Amino acid sequence: MEDIKILVIDDEKNILESIKMVLTYENYKVETASSGLDGVELFKTINPDIVLLDVKMPGFNGIEVLRNLKEINPLTEVIMISGHSGIEEAVEASKLGAFDFLEKPLARDKLILTVRNAAEKVMLLKENYTLKIISEKKYLLIGTSPKMQELRQIIARVSKTNSTVLITGESGTGKELIARSIYITSSRSKKKFVQVNCAAIPDELIESELFGHEKGSFTGAYEKKIGKFDNAHNGTIFLDEIGDLSLKAQAKVLRVLEEGEIQRVGSPEVRKIDVRVIAATNKNLKDEIKKGTFREDLFFRLNVVPLQSPPLRERKEDIPILVEHFMDYFSEENNFKKKDFSPRVMEILKNYEWKGNVRELRNLVERLLIMSPGNIIHEIDLPEYMQEEIKNPSFSFSDIKTWKDFKAISEKLFIEEKLKHYNFNIARTAREIDLPRSNLYKKIESGGIILPGNSEIDEESLHSEMNGEESPGSAGQDGS
């Protein structure tokens, strides 16, 4: 219990010394105070996990001190000690949140057992708090790009209502995170959040999963089942991949949205339900309506507040923040030391086409944390499929607006490829591409091309610099 800090507050010096001796021997960190006022001030400074507090003290008595301590930190466990306290004081202390009551003279075994029980409760609370923090980090919406700022503003408005929300977007863009953000900031945040992946449940079971069934209502229904909508009563239900629902199940979801009613499979009873519905899909529901696989009336009922989850390619400025967040999360979850990304790797990540969106980036960061051998992640640590894309760079013409932009991008890609091909030997690269070395340096700098951190100017370049020579090619040529 070396991590447990204890504060003992008592006006009797021999009591302070004996308790400190016993608990220090048990590997607790112990501080003492000889008055209620001093105890409160020391409490503010050291923030102990457990306090042993005398009830009868001159001036600031134990009950008053307990009240103050609980106002400062209600999670601290306080054990009251007294030689002549009455039932009334014990009841008052219990109401204020005292963990236990010990009588003087203190029995050593009883003292150790009571403190140990309080310490176990403190450790459990700390563990639960840590898990809660890690869990909350998992569902944070990360990003400061204009797209994300706009999304947060809409979420802030939507969360104040009970309106149905339809979230659309590519797979891996974080539709679940948007749904949870709406839920967490809503008036239903103290109630349940029930998530259903409609695509993962077989068609023959989806109605039973959503609405429940009665015993014997179909083959295999050996007992009564409560459905997801029942579980989400007074809370929020998130219907992920709603575009994969069968038409029959869609009709029942429509009934919930329009009438607030559900009916278990095999039951004649119609029950009222109060639930906020958030749905999501990566399908184009208007196309699905044309195909006859999705009900138009359900689409209009779901699409009260439409939200678009932006793909990562539209918010690439968020990539460094996302990388840092995922590294923090996975290192904390796995108790690993954090690793840094080299400038070259971060540049690659920012320029990579993320077909799997944020989910792909998240999985990559977890993999690099576990698999890369050093404290800094280098280009060689990246997976093979990314290595291939680096060797064979590509860009989309739709992202290029002007001839000047096209020229700049093409030039940068060409120089990067040639530098890699000649192992970043500046003189040889300049000679092979028929460009003055000084101009190559300028283009490397203006294009933001990152050279390997451990690279040095090659001897040939250095020799030429010292002799005031240029690489082959016309000195007046700029390679434009």
Count of domains in the chain?
4
Taking only the tens place, the pLDDT of each residue in 75-112 is: 899 999 887 656 677 778 888 889 998 888 889 999 99
Residue 90 sits in a domain whose CATH number is: 3.40.50.2300
In a domain, 24, yes or no: yes
* 158, 305 Cβ separation under 8 angstroms: yes
Domain contains 149: no
The Cα–Cα gap between 62 and 323 comes to 50
How far apart are alpha carbons 455 and 379 in whole angstroms? 14
Question: What pLDDT sits at residue 203?
Answer: 81
Instruction: Verify that 357 and 226 share a domain, yes or no.
Output: no
pTM of the predicted structure, to 2 decimals: 0.60
Residue 55 lies in a domain: yes
User: Has residue 24 got a pLDDT over 70?
Assistant: yes
> Which residue, of 135, 150, 174, is where some domain finishes?
135
Q: Of 391, 418, 451, which residue sits at a domain end?
A: 391
The domain spanning residue 226 has which CATH number? 3.40.50.300
Between 267 and 129, the more confident residue is: 267
User: What is the amino acid identity at position 476?
Assistant: G
Q: Which residue has the higher pLDDT, 235 or 474?
A: 235
Mean pLDDT for all residues in the chain: 85
Verify that 185 and 213 share a domain, yes or no.
Answer: yes
155 part of a folded domain? no
Residue 480 lies in a domain: no
CATH at 450: 1.10.10.60
Q: pLDDT band at residue 398, thresholds of 50, 70 and 90?
A: low
pLDDT tens for 5-16 read: 999 999 889 999
3-state DSSP assignment of residue 355: coil
Nearest one of 169, 164, 170 to 275, comparing CA atoms: 164
Indicate if 305 and 317 belong to the same structural domain.
no
Domain containing 34 equals 5-135
pLDDT exceeds 80 at position 253: yes
- Residue 471's pLDDT is 42
Neighbours of 202 (CB within 10 A): 8
